[in-house]
């Protein structure tokens, strides 16, 4: 009897890139559905525009690089980038916003650096930051949740708003964003930030209609839906728990300490956890296998850094939400994190 002797590694990951990407965008479905329920059908229009742009941009970039186009379309990485960017921007943003951001993410951030597996920064978040810096008004004009809307927006009005800036009845986005308090309503994090900067107490800031839910109408449930999708990814071993766990610890522990010492002027840990893009960032963005650290210890450190940067920027920075900036800044540190956290192979000495 003979035994087959094979060299290591003896454990194989049989999932292809296509299968991994498919699990990622399937796990995003609960969050997309909840986001649509609260913020309208504009989410689907942005998704359609992003997917079409990603498909064209991916094909164009591969053709210019002299590579097979069909193979790039089939790995689904462009789909995930398009979906992440589409659900990160306001549902009623002008059509050219998502087209410009997606094309930049695919052509510049992904293909200029060499394509799949070579990009230094998360393409979706690099596209998001480009749009946020270049077009801050359009990128911060989130529609108010349907529960508080004075005027309901139909599907035809949604399409008309995105492509022309006005509904069929002639209302623009700012008029539609008039909330129950009679002024243009901001997102929970934006509202809290402005009120705390104007020396209102946390209790006074939370008295606005948008906080009638336990962590902001709409946003809390969107975050819970993305949390559930993220847990599915961990259960399926598509991602490990280290980055999401590290990010939530890195965000919530300093937030809790700061809130305990400054309860009237600090955002509570629950609001940090269930507002903005916290869960989307923790489970779907920071976990990008190309731009994150590679060892479990490194992933934990990377997640802690992302979470802490989110806390710092939200508390003292210039933007109410901070996930995109935190992920890109942490992407820059990955080579250093990997250098000091990669396990040393037996017999190969220490790190130089």
Label each residue of 279-340 as H, E or C. Answer: HHHHHHHCCCCCCCCCCHHHHHHHHHHHHHHHHHHHHHCCCCCCHHHHHHHHHHHHHHHHHH
Calculate what percentage of the chain has a pLDDT beyond 70: 90
336 HSE (CA, 13 A, CB side): 8
pLDDT in tens, 303-324: 999 999 999 999 998 887 889 9
> Is 13 exposed, middle or buried, given 0-12, 13-18 or 19+ CB atoms closer than 10 A?
exposed
Say how far apart CA 298 and CA 240 lie, in whole Å: 12
Is the confidence at residue 23, as pLDDT, over 90? yes
Residue 178 forms beta bridges with which residues? 184
- On whether the CB atoms of residues 211 and 188 are closer than 8 A, the answer is yes
> Is 307 exposed, middle or buried, given 0-12, 13-18 or 19+ CB atoms closer than 10 A?
buried
Is the confidence at residue 11, as pLDDT, over 60? no
Could you tell me which residues come within 8 angstroms of residue 101 by beta carbon, excluding any fewer than 6 positions away? 85, 89, 127, 128, 130, 131
- On whether the CB atoms of residues 274 and 219 are closer than 8 A, the answer is yes
Global pTM? Answer: 0.90
Identify the three-state secondary structure at position 178.
strand
Q: What is the token pair recorded at 97?
A: 């916003």
Identify the three-state secondary structure at position 278.
helix
Say how far apart CA 247 and CA 304 lie, in whole Å: 5
Mean pLDDT of the chain: 87
- Under the banding of pLDDT at 50, 70 and 90, the label for residue 128 is very high
Query: What end-to-end distance do the CA atoms of the chain give, in Å?
Result: 46
Sign of CA dihedral 334, 337, 339, 343: negative
| 97 against 154, higher pLDDT | 97
Give the CA angle between residues 300, 221, 127 to the nearest 5°.
Answer: 60
- Under the banding of pLDDT at 50, 70 and 90, the label for residue 59 is very high
Is the confidence at residue 158, as pLDDT, over 60? yes
- Under the banding of pLDDT at 50, 70 and 90, the label for residue 168 is confident
pLDDT in tens, 176-232: 777 555 556 678 888 888 888 888 888 888 888 777 766 677 889 999 999 999 999
- Under the banding of pLDDT at 50, 70 and 90, the label for residue 134 is very high
Is the confidence at residue 242, as pLDDT, over 70? yes
- 3-state per-residue secondary structure call for 78-144: HHHHHHHHHCCCCCCCCHHHHHHHHHHHHHHHHHCCCCCCCCCCCHHHHHHHHHHHHCHHHHCCCCC
| 142 against 90, higher pLDDT | 90
Say how far apart CA 122 and CA 95 lie, in whole Å: 22
pLDDT at residue 32, rounded to an integer: 96
Say how far apart CA 16 and CA 173 lie, in whole Å: 43
């Amino acid at each position: 009897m003979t035994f087959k002797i094979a060299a290591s590694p003896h454990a194989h990951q049989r999932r292809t890139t296509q299968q991994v990407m498919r699990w990622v965008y399937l796990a995003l479905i609960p969050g997309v559905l909840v986001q649509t329920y609260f913020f309208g059908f504009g989410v689907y229009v942005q998704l359609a525009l992003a997917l079409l742009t990603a498909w064209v941009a991916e094909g164009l970039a591969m053709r210019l690089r002299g590579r097979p186009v069909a193979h790039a379309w089939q790995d689904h990485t462009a789909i995930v980038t398009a979906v992440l960017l589409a659900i990160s921007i306001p549902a009623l943003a002008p059509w050219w916003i998502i087209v410009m951001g997606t094309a930049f993410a695919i052509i510049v951030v992904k293909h200029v650096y060499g394509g799949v597996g070579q990009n230094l920064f998360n393409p979706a978040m690099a596209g998001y930051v480009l749009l946020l810096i270049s077009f801050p008004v359009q990128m911060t004009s989130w529609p108010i949740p349907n529960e508080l809307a004075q005027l309901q927006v139909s599907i035809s009005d949604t399409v008309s708003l995105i492509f022309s800036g006005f509904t069929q009845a002639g209302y623009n986005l700012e008029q539609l964003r008039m909330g129950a308090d009679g002024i243009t309503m901001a997102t929970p994090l934006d509202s809290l930030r402005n009120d705390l900067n104007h020396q209102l107490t946390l209790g006074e800031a939370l008295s606005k209609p948008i906080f009638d839910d336990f962590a902001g109408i709409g946003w809390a449930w969107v975050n819970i839906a993305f949390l559930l999708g993220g847990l599915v990814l961990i259960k399926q071993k598509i991602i490990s728990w280290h980055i999401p766990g590290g990010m939530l610890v890195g965000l919530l522990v300093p937030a809790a300490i700061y809130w305990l010492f400054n309860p009237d002027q600090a955002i509570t840990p629950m609001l940090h956890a269930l507002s903005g893009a916290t869960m989307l960032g923790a489970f779907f963005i920071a976990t990008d296998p190309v731009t994150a650290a590679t060892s479990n210890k490194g992933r934990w450190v990377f997640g802690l850094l992302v979470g802490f940067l989110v806390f710092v920027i939200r508390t003292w920075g210039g933007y109410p939400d901070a996930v995109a900036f935190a992920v890109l800044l942490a992407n820059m540190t990955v080579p250093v994190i990997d250098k000091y956290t990669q396990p040393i192979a037996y017999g190969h000495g220490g790190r130089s």
